[in-house]
């Protein structure tokens, strides 16, 4: 009974093995077909997506796929009008054929151009390899960095000998490069050893400029308060300095006196000190003159 059972089991195992081989061969055919379709330069991306969708529904035994345009549109996210336009080049170039039915179409894939596309891929690959090999050869032939000296003089390099360590580093000195001429020698720091430094004194970035209209030399006058300036000058002197500016601004004597008193109160409140009080007073008159007086 055991022998009979083994004899009965052998045909079933052989049939399963044969079906597995057939399934694998059909899967390899589908991959080959997809690779060849992707390599066809005559088709656009939309036609290739539609062709791959049709191939995924091909039955292994019948070699046909029953699909409607709406099914392909749902799986590829392409409108039905795009499906109708995109499958035309597939039939024209011999990749897909179909026949119409009452509902869905019956599609069949064709394998006439698989060999041609594989040959094209192999030819392009060999061309890429040849280009890569030529580029690598060009890099090997290119001179090294040391050989690309524009002065055509190779810097001498000391020959190292293991038996004579004392001679290591004994080489001829080459001419200094032009860059070395621009390097300044180190300068002693005056804060460490008291020696003067040759570092130039850089002026500050923001320098306070003197007020416009003052021609006093540095150190000629010292800063004073507004009361000290009033005590050191006379009314005639102050009027001679302020009234021309007031006339240009259209101010009367009373208006000028009022603005001058306001300027003095402001300077006392802020405790301001200066040696340019006439300039500051004229500036106060220009900035605080009413618009009606200017017009």
DSSP element (H, E) containing 98: strand 96-99
For residues 71-83, give the mean pLDDT.
91
Task: Please identify which residue in the block is written with the tokens 């209209």.
Answer: 213
106: left (phi over 0), alpha (psi -120 to 50) or beta: beta
Q: What is the pLDDT of residue 54?
A: 92
Residue 273 pLDDT exceeds 60? yes
Q: Answer for the pair 104, 66: CB distance below 8 angstroms, yes or no.
A: yes
Question: What pLDDT is attached to residue 134?
Answer: 87
Helix (H, G, I), strand (E, B) or coil at 165: helix
Whether 124 shows a pLDDT value over 70: the answer reads yes
Higher-confidence residue of 5 and 272: namely 272
Tens digits of residue pLDDT in 143-191: 666 566 555 555 555 555 555 545 444 544 445 445 445 445 555 555 5
pLDDT for 45 beyond 80 = yes
pLDDT tens digit string along 86-119? Answer: 889 999 999 999 998 877 899 999 988 889 998 9
pLDDT number for residue 148: 61
SS3 annotation, 222-273 = CCEEHHHHHHHCCHHHHHHHHHHHHHHHCCCHHHHHHHHHHHHHHHHHHCCE
Instruction: Please report which confidence band the pLDDT of residue 19 belongs to, taking 50, 70 and 90 as the band edges.
Output: low
Across 80-84, average pLDDT:
90
Which of the two residues, 161 and 252, has the higher pLDDT score? 252
Supply the pTM of this predicted model: 0.41
Report whether pLDDT(13) > 80.
Answer: no
Residue 8: band (very low, low, confident or very high) from pLDDT cuts 50, 70, 90? very low
The 10 Å Cβ neighbour count of residue 98 is 19
Q: For residue 135, give the 3-state DSSP assignment.
A: helix
Give Cβ neighbours of residue 94 (< 8 Å, ≥ 6 apart).
110, 112, 113
What pLDDT score does 184 carry? 57
| CB atoms inside a 10 Å sphere around CB 50 | 28
Query: pLDDT tens digit string along 49-62?
Result: 999 999 999 998 88
**Under 8 Å between Cβ of 99 and 105:** yes
Task: Specify the DSSP class assigned to residue 146.
Answer: G
Q: Exposure of 147 by Cβ count < 10 A (0-12 exposed, 13-18 middle, 19+ buried)?
A: exposed
Average pLDDT, integer, range 2-29:
58
């Amino acid at each position: 009974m055991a022998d009979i059972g083994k004899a009965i089991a052998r045909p079933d195992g052989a049939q399963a093995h044969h079906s597995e081989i057939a399934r694998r061969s059909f899967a390899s055919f589908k991959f080959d077909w997809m690779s060849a379709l992707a390599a066809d330069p005559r088709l656009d991306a939309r036609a290739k997506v539609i062709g791959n969708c049709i191939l995924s529904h091909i039955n292994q035994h019948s070699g046909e796929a029953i699909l409607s345009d709406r099914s392909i549109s749902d799986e590829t996210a392409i409108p039905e009008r795009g499906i109708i336009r995109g499958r035309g080049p597939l039939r024209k170039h011999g990749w897909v054929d179909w026949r119409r039915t009452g509902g869905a179409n019956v599609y069949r894939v064709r394998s006439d151009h698989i060999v041609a596309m594989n040959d094209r891929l192999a030819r392009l690959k060999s061309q890429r390899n040849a280009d890569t090999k030529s580029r690598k050869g060009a890099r090997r032939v290119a001179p090294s960095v040391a050989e690309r000296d524009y002065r055509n003089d190779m810097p001498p390099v000391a020959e190292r000998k293991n038996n004579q360590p004392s001679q290591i580093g004994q080489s001829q000195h080459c001419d200094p490069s032009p860059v070395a001429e621009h390097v300044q020698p180190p300068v002693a720091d005056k804060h460490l050893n008291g020696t003067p430094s040759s570092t130039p004194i850089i002026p500050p970035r923001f320098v306070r400029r003197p007020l416009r209209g003052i021609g006093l030399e540095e150190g000629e006058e010292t800063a004073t308060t507004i009361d000290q300036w009033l005590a050191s000058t006379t009314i005639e002197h102050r009027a001679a300095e302020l009234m021309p500016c007031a006339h240009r601004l259209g101010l009367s004597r009373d208006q000028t006196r009022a603005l001058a008193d306001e300027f003095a109160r402001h300077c006392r409140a802020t405790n301001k000190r200066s040696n340019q009080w006439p300039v500051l007073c004229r500036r106060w008159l220009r900035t605080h003159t009413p618009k009606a007086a200017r017009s």
